[in-house]
Amino acid sequence: MKPTTGFKSAFEEDTYKGLNSYPKYLLSKYIYDQKGDKLFQKIMEMPEYYLTKCETEIFKGNTPAIADSFNGPDGFDLIELGAGDGKKTKILLRHLTEKNYEFTYQPVDISQNVLDELQSSLLEELPDIQIKPQQGTYFKTLERLSDYNTRKKVILVLGSNIGNLLHKDAIDFLKNIKSSMSQEDMLFMGFDQKKDPQKILDAYNDPAGITEAFNKNLLSRINRDLDADFDLDSFLHWETYDPETGTAKSFLVSKTEQQVKIPKLEFTAHFKAWETIHTEISQKYDDEVVHWLAAESGLKVETSFTDKKEFYRNYVFRKD
């Protein structure tokens, strides 16, 4: 039964539901607090983590073409879901500013901390930019996207963030985006491509243990915010990849039978030895799957951009 005082936040409710499920799970979006943001920035700098490097290569090699595709007769609103630290986006923003494109930039992220840092750095590097940060989840933001209807809007989703969703959820996500789009609007979205399975596993299971610390930050946050007593060393980080489905999954595995008290939830979580907590999914794609997702969502693929090794691809979608 849920706590007698009820849930005081979505984090409390989602944590309670996840640890009372079988198999157990925790939502990856809660990894991103101040510590989690810093750890993810370290992940993006790892030699094994090819995704950021590939997408950066795409932006550097195709900036003018991408910028021209974004532009509209009255300029455009650039709305980025899951903006993060904005390193890749800054390549484009710098070009748009230097070439005097008429646009506003609205970065959206669940982490207020990362938005504050992004706004501060952008106003220092590009003082003339019009920036309107917005804290919140994708789905809450999508409810308000249709309000941006006075000129073309470009919805930007980088870093293969859609890969955190199973296909059925990805279709719902894309349908929500489509419902807020006019015929002139466009969606620019990154998809990590299927490749050598070992290359993918290495990206999520680095020898330095940064990805392990990133996933375990979920437990650290529960300890801090909910007064829990998770022993992080008693959990093993484990990564799997299925090349048939293109699904990479991250788990925390209990090394022993143990109990974890979570006082703010009035709840004790029981773990058997080698019982798992599913923390994250990272879906990989090919052209066929992306076109199928688009068709199921009422979208069409207009074009795409890729890196030299074709490890990663950014697709341009319009309303069908």
Give the number of other Cβ atoms within 10 Å of residue 78's Cβ.
24
Mean pLDDT in residue range 105-123: 91
Q: For residues 132 and 179, state if they share a domain.
A: yes
Q: For residues 273 and 289, state if they share a domain.
A: no
Residue 255 to residues 116, 204, 235, 272, 277: CA-CA distances in angstroms? 38, 20, 6, 9, 12
Tell me which residue range forms the domain holding 277.
Answer: 10-31+198-283
Q: For residues 175 and 121, state if they share a domain.
A: yes
User: Is 41 part of any domain?
Assistant: no
Q: For residues 160 and 133, state if they share a domain.
A: yes
Q: Is 184 a residue whose pLDDT tops 70?
A: yes
**Rg (alpha carbons) of the chain, rounded to whole number:** 20
User: Is 163 part of any domain?
Assistant: yes
Query: What's the CA gap between 29 and 16, in Å, rounded?
Result: 15
Question: Do 154 and 76 contact (CB within 8 A), yes or no?
Answer: yes
User: Is 18 part of any domain?
Assistant: yes
User: Is 133 part of any domain?
Assistant: yes
Q: For residues 90 and 158, state if they share a domain.
A: yes
Q: For residues 238 and 301, state if they share a domain.
A: no
Stated pTM of the model: 0.90
Closest among 248, 218, 211 to 232, alpha carbons compared: 218
Q: For residues 159 and 300, state if they share a domain.
A: yes
Q: For residues 301 and 259, state if they share a domain.
A: no
Question: Do 250 and 239 contact (CB within 8 A), yes or no?
Answer: yes
Q: For residues 275 and 302, state if they share a domain.
A: no
Mean pLDDT in residue range 231-246: 97
216-225 pLDDT, tens digit each: 999 999 999 9
Query: What's the CA gap between 134 and 116, in Å, rounded?
Result: 10
User: Which pLDDT does position 5 carry in this prediction?
Assistant: 66
User: Is 42 part of any domain?
Assistant: no
185-195 pLDDT, tens digit each: 999 999 999 99
Report the DSSP beta bridge partners of residue 278. 25, 251
Structural domain tally of the chain?
Answer: 2
Q: For residues 81 and 168, state if they share a domain.
A: yes
Q: Residue 148: give its domain's CATH number.
A: 3.40.50.150
User: Which pLDDT does position 137 carry in this prediction?
Assistant: 78
Q: For residues 60 and 91, state if they share a domain.
A: yes
Listed as own residue / partner, the contacts of 284-288 with beta carbons closer than 8 Å and 24 or more positions apart are 284/163, 284/192, 284/193, 284/194, 284/195, 284/200, 284/241, 284/246, 284/247, 284/248, 285/163, 285/191, 285/192, 285/193, 285/194, 285/246, 285/313, 286/193, 286/194, 286/246, 287/313
Mean pLDDT in residue range 83-94: 92
User: Is 3 part of any domain?
Assistant: no
What confidence category does residue 4 fall into, taking pLDDT thresholds of 50, 70 and 90?
low
What confidence category does residue 45 fall into, taking pLDDT thresholds of 50, 70 and 90?
very high
Residue 244, SS3 per DSSP: coil
Residue 25, SS3 per DSSP: strand
Per the structure block, which two tokens stand in for 277?
A: 């907590």
Q: For residues 228 and 290, state if they share a domain.
A: no
Beta carbons within 8 Å of 58's beta carbon, 6+ residues apart: 305, 306, 307, 312, 314
User: Is 121 part of any domain?
Assistant: yes
5-24 pLDDT, tens digit each: 689 999 999 999 999 999 99
Residue-level length of the chain = 320
Find the farthest-apart pair of alpha carbons in the chain and give their distance in angstroms, rounded: 63
User: Is 185 part of any domain?
Assistant: yes
118-148 pLDDT, tens digit each: 999 999 999 999 999 998 877 777 777 777 7
